[in-house]
Amino acid sequence: DYSSFPIIETDRLLLRRMTDNDAPAILAEFGDPRVLEHLDPDPPVTDIESALSFLHWLDGMFTAKTALRWAITLHDSDTMIGTCGFHRWDPKNRRAEIGYDLQTAYWRQGYATEATRAMMRFCFSELNLHRLEADCNEGNIGSAAVLEKCGFTYEGLWRHKFFEHDMWINLKQYSILETEYAALQESE
C-alpha cells in the first residue's frame, strides 16, 4: 500500500506526481500522431481543457488507490517527457499492469527502459506484487523491446483485442514474476 505519492529517482530521471502545469506536455504528447499510432488515450486529449481533465482523472485513480501514474521528467529539467505507471492493481492476487509513454523526441534513448525498471522495483518491493503484466500493440516494436530488455516474458497475442483508428488491433501480452525479477537483481 502507498499512503503518499511516491517519488522515484533513477540515474537520469525523476518520476513524480503530475500537476496542472503538465497539461501542455500532455497535450503535445497525445496530440502527436506518431504517439497515437501506439495508444489511444481514454479520455481523449484534444486541447488544454481535456489535458487537464486527463491529469485529474489519472490523479483520481491514485486517490482511490486503484492505479498510479508518474510524470517522467529529466533530472536537469522539471519538464515532463512522458508518463508511466501501473493500473489494474489487484492486491488480493498481488498483480498489476504497467504502462509507459514518451514524447517522440525522447524515443530510442533508454528512458522507457529506465522508467520501467524503476516501476518494477517499486511494484515488487513496495507493493509486494507477485506478477507484473504489460501489453503493447503488435506493431510497437520499441515497446516490445523495452519489455524484453527488462526481463518480461512474451506470453502470447490477443487477436483483435481493440478497435482503434478504424482497424482491429492485436496486443502482445508480457509478464514477469517476482521470482524472475529477484533472479534478475541477483545477476546484476
Per-residue pLDDT tens over the stretch 124-161: 999 999 999 999 999 899 999 999 999 999 999 999 99
pLDDT band at 184 (very low <50, low <70, confident <90, very high): very high
Contacts of 17 by beta carbon, 8 Å cutoff, 6+ apart? 5, 7, 59, 62, 70, 71
Decide: 83 and 106 in contact? Cβ < 8 Å. Answer: no
Rounded Cα distance between 96 and 88, Å, is 5
Task: Find the mean pLDDT for residues 15-32.
Answer: 93
- Whether residue 3 lies inside any domain: the answer is no
Q: What is the CATH number of the domain that holds 89?
A: 3.40.630.30
Position 166 scores a pLDDT of 86
Position 41 scores a pLDDT of 66
* Residue in 86, 174, 163 with CA at minimum distance from that of residue 133: 174
- Whether residue 132 lies inside any domain: the answer is yes
* Antiparallel, parallel or unpaired: β 153-164 and 8-9: unpaired
- The percentage of residues in the chain with a pLDDT greater than 70, rounded to a whole number, is 97
- Whether residue 25 lies inside any domain: the answer is yes
Task: Find the mean pLDDT for residues 109-117.
Answer: 98
What the block records as the C-alpha cell of 108 is 530510442
Mean pLDDT of the chain, nearest integer:
92
Domain region containing 128: 8-187
- Whether residue 154 lies inside any domain: the answer is yes
- Whether residue 1 lies inside any domain: the answer is no
- Whether residue 2 lies inside any domain: the answer is no
Span 26-70, pLDDT tens digits: 999 988 888 877 877 666 788 999 999 999 999 999 988 889 999
Least reliable range by pLDDT among 80-84, 179-183, 184-188: 184-188
Position 42 scores a pLDDT of 66
Overall number of domains in the chain: 1
- Whether residue 52 lies inside any domain: the answer is yes
Tell whether the model's pLDDT for residue 77 goes beyond 60: yes
Position 85 scores a pLDDT of 96
Task: Find the mean pLDDT for residues 8-20.
Answer: 96
Position 93 scores a pLDDT of 97
Rounded Cα distance between 133 and 172, Å, is 11
Task: Find the mean pLDDT for residues 148-177.
Answer: 94
- Whether residue 163 lies inside any domain: the answer is yes
Position 72 scores a pLDDT of 98
